[in-house]
Amino acid sequence: METDRQAIIAFLETVHPYDTLPRDELADVASSFRRMEFRPEALIYVYQTPIGGLYLIKQGAVEITDGNGGLVSLLGPRNSFGERGILRDGLAATQAKASEQTICLVLPTPTFKRLIETYPSFERFFNRKRGEKVSNDIATQKVADLIARKPLFCGPETTVVSAAQMMRDAHVSSLGVVAEAERLLGIITVRDLANKVLASEMPGTTPVAEVMTADPVSLPPTALGSDILHIMLERRIGHLPITEQGRFVGMITQTDLTRFQAVSSAVLIRDVVSAETVAEMAAVTARIPQLLTQLVGGHHSHEVVTRLVTDIADAVTRRLLVMAERELGAPPVPYLWLACGSQGRQEQTGVSDQDNCLIFDDAATAEDMAYFQALAKIVCDGLNECGYVYCPGEMMAMSPRWCQPARVWRDYFLGWINTPNPEAQMLASVMFDLRPIGGGGIAMFEALHAETLAMAAKNSIFVAHMISNSLKHTPPLGLIRGFATIRSGEHRNHIDLKMNGVVPVADLARIYALQGKLPPANTRARLKAAEETGVISPSGARDLIEAYDLIATMRLENQATLIRAGRKPDNFLAPSDLSDFERSHLRDAFVVVRTMQSAVGHSKAVVS
């Protein structure tokens, strides 16, 4: 049915490398998939038996084991499996079993092989034979391998309305403008349509030749990714046409670079889930700084960078849980491992300690509690070895206080809400950022989360205390158009872009989520949800989001600069290292944050 095909297309657009396919190819591929549903514990295929295609999980979870029954990995939605057997001899290299009710989309082997032969993005993603010979450094990639789709273009006489419709239908932000023999004359972008056509009230019949960027700089397919980055940085452009002897053969955009970097993070996650020891995982996480510099160097948005970095931490955590269960045996009762802090908010950077906790079913006995304490220690020790150092405040599942049954957690939150002393405010601030990572007891958290948000939002005294706690972190503003820098010590004359930059915004977003009973944990998502639900005004939300984007971006750029200099990344920035323009904008961002803090503080005073 057409509706089923459209649903598959929409799903594939969220899965790499299918998201790199041209629109018409994606539609054909979507039609090739067949849908299969499996009950819990059902075998999907058996080791060394013929495998009929590539499996893509749409819903549910799949357990992959080797020929000896050893657990290889636990896969969830958007994960693929079966490619090793297809690319080797057509026989399954592993055994796959549904661990819960699961829906898979199966791509026939001939179609899968054709995609690998036709599209470099597929060959890069699925070919495991090259191992470490595969370079995931965008600077060394050939431009031809980075082109995500066939060239889209129009003639110089095409009207701007027609060009806009072509971009909309193809889901792109630019077109090449070509003459005979596909010779490139210029390019037109969505920004051109906005700034030159709409802003100047030009008629829709205007030819694109009048508003295009004529004779744009271009690169040949044989150029390197570093050439793209250099040109985009130097000329401050986001679209770069690729030409071969004057003929337009494709377009590279910042979105394409983002997709390439997503493959890099996917490779790290692939290596994590296949690791057999903690040391192997630590070797993978040691590559995160390089990934961060690539992502930042590609001018990707901060929320993309931190999400991809956090995804790796999530994968490490889940792999450690698998290892722990393998050592200790199956869990005696359902449990759920949750992250809080920056991992909970999906905002990890190059500097992260671990903040986590464990909730298990109320049916647990004293002996069962010993099991979970042992599991928590294995995972927390493993995270520490992988670079996610122990939390200085011991807010970790290996601490008995944060490894408790659901009823105890319910009492924790109830106590914090009803008796909001300073410790309760601090703990609630951290724990309101909880996000499930692994384990099967998601229902325990969902019930607790909904109940807690409802109770907290109704308690005006608790909300007022949470607001007071959130105002403890203030932007580093000086009295006279300057910054209040650190006065002594190792970071003298620096500002802390974490504690005095992103944390104040995260604290504000948490308050808005509490007031509006909003479920997101991510700071930017909370701000957007607060705007959409009327918790804050559209103008206030826009200003605060823009301020947050600037602060968070400068924090990541500073970390990338330190990494490239061979130093460990941190959160301290010297304003003197910035240009006058950058200092002015950063200070303006801090002013916005201070203004929003003042507004929240006033609302607290009114409530009190």
Same domain flag for 188 and 91: no
Domain assignment of residue 334, yes or no: yes
Residue 517 lies in a domain: yes
User: Does some domain include residue 57?
Assistant: yes
Per the model's pLDDT, the better-predicted residue between 75 and 173 turns out to be 173
**Residue 234: what pLDDT?**
76
pLDDT (tens digit per residue) in 374-393: 999 999 999 999 999 999 88
Residues 162 and 302 in one domain: no
Query: Are 260 and 141 spatial neighbours (Cβ–Cβ below 8 Å)?
Result: yes
pLDDT for 74 beyond 60:
yes
Is 458 within a domain? Answer: no
Quick one: pLDDT band at residue 499, thresholds 50, 70, 90? very high
- Are 305 and 429 found together in one domain? yes
Q: Which stretch of DSSP H or E encloses residue 529?
A: helix 523-532
| 520: helix, strand or coil | coil
pLDDT digits (tens, 9 = 90+) for 575-592: 988 887 788 889 888 989
Residues 510, 540 share a domain: yes
Q: Is residue 32 part of a domain?
A: yes
Within 13 Å, how many C-alpha atoms sit on residue 236's CB side?
A: 0
Strand blocks (E) in 146-204: 153-154, 174-178, 184-189
One domain for residues 442 and 331: yes
- 95 and 122 housed in the same domain: yes
Question: Span 545-556, mean pLDDT?
Answer: 94
At 49, the pLDDT band (50, 70, 90 cuts) reads very high
- Tell me what pLDDT residue 180 has: 85
Find the mean pLDDT for residues 93-112. Answer: 92
pLDDT category at 135 given cuts 50, 70, 90 is: very low
Predicted local distance difference test score (pLDDT) of residue 127: 60
Structure tokens at 376: 């928590």
Distance CA 187, CA 154 (A): 9
Q: What are phi and psi of 281, to 5 degrees?
A: -70, -40
Residues 6+ apart with CB under 8 A from 79: 56, 57, 62
CA distance 454 to 442: 19
Tell me, yes or no, whether 334 and 363 share the same domain: yes
Q: Which helix (H) or strand (E) covers residue 273, if one does?
A: helix 254-273
Q: How far is CA 479 from CA 320, 484, 496, 591, in A?
A: 49, 8, 18, 12
**d(Cα 70, Cα 94) in Å, to the nearest integer?**
10
pLDDT given for residue 131 in this prediction: 36
| Local confidence band at 509 (pLDDT 50, 70, 90 cut-offs) | very high
pLDDT band at 607 (very low <50, low <70, confident <90, very high): very low
Encoding tokens for residue 366? 């004293």
Domain boundary pick from 260, 283, 312: 260
pLDDT of residue 133: 36
Sign of CA dihedral 480, 500, 527, 514: negative
Per the structure, the count of domains in the chain is 4
3-state secondary structure 157-171: CCEHHHHHHHHHHHC
Nearest to 348 by CA among 386, 376, 402, 399: 386
Q: What residue has token string 């056509």?
A: 197
Question: Which pLDDT score is estimated for 1?
Answer: 58
Give the residues across from 186 on adjacent strands: 177, 214
- CATH code of residue 347: 3.30.460.10
Q: Which band of pLDDT confidence, cut at 50, 70 and 90, is reported for residue 45?
A: very high
Share of the chain above pLDDT 90, in %: 50
Residue 222 falls inside a structural domain: yes
Question: What are the tokens at 284?
Answer: 């993978």
Residues 6+ positions from 513 with CB-CB distance below 8 Å: 432, 453, 519, 520, 526, 529, 530
**Kind and range of the H or E run holding 345:** none
Handedness of CA 341, 344, 349, 352 (dihedral sign): positive
Is residue 17 reached through a cis peptide bond, with omega within 30 degrees of 0 on the bond before it?
yes
462 assigned to some structural domain: no
- Residue 229 maps to a domain: yes
Cα separation of 6 and 1, whole Å?
Answer: 9
Instruction: Tell me the average pLDDT across 516-526.
Output: 90
- List beta partners, residue 250: 242
Of all residues in the chain, what percent carry a pLDDT higher than 70?
93
Q: Are residues 307 and 438 in the same domain?
A: yes
Q: DSSP 3-state assignment of 481?
A: coil
Query: Comparing 35-49, 236-250, 295-309, 313-327, which segment has the lowest mean pLDDT?
Result: 295-309
| CATH assignment of the domain containing 33 | 2.60.120.10
pLDDT tier at 342, thresholds 50, 70, 90:
very high
Mean pLDDT of 495-521: 92
Q: Which residues pair with 45 in a beta bridge?
A: 96
Cα separation, 79 vs 379, in Å, equals: 23
Name, in order, each residue with C-beta under 8 angstroms of 359's C-beta and a sequence gap of 6 or more: 335, 336, 338, 404, 405, 406, 409, 441, 444, 445, 448
* Chain Cα centroid distance, residue 49: 36
Q: Which of 104, 127, 150 is the last residue of a domain?
A: 127
Q: Average model confidence (pLDDT) for the chain?
A: 87
| CA 165/CA 373 separation, integer angstroms | 59
| Domain end position, chosen among 216, 239, 260 | 260
User: Containing domain of residue 39, as a range?
Assistant: 1-127
Same domain, 283 and 248: no
288 & 223 share domain: no
Cβ atoms < 10 Å from Cβ of 489: 7
Instruction: Please check whether residues 490 and 430 belong to one and the same domain.
Output: no
473-484 pLDDT, tens digit per residue, is 899 987 555 788
Tell me which DSSP letter residue 492 carries: T
Q: Taking the mean position of all CA atoms in its chain, how far away is CA 150?
A: 27
Distance CA 66, CA 365 (A): 34
- Tokens representing residue 286 in the block: 């040691």
- The pLDDT of residue 606 is 44
Reported as a pLDDT band with limits 50, 70 and 90, residue 441 is confident
Q: Cβ neighbours of residue 94 under 8 Å, at least 6 residues apart?
A: 47, 64, 65, 66, 67, 72, 81, 84, 85
The Cα 487–Cα 132 span in angstroms is 46
Question: In terms of domains, do 404 and 420 share one?
Answer: yes
Whichever domain contains 196, its CATH number is: 3.10.580.10
How confident is the model over 343-360, as pLDDT tens digits? 999 999 988 889 999 999
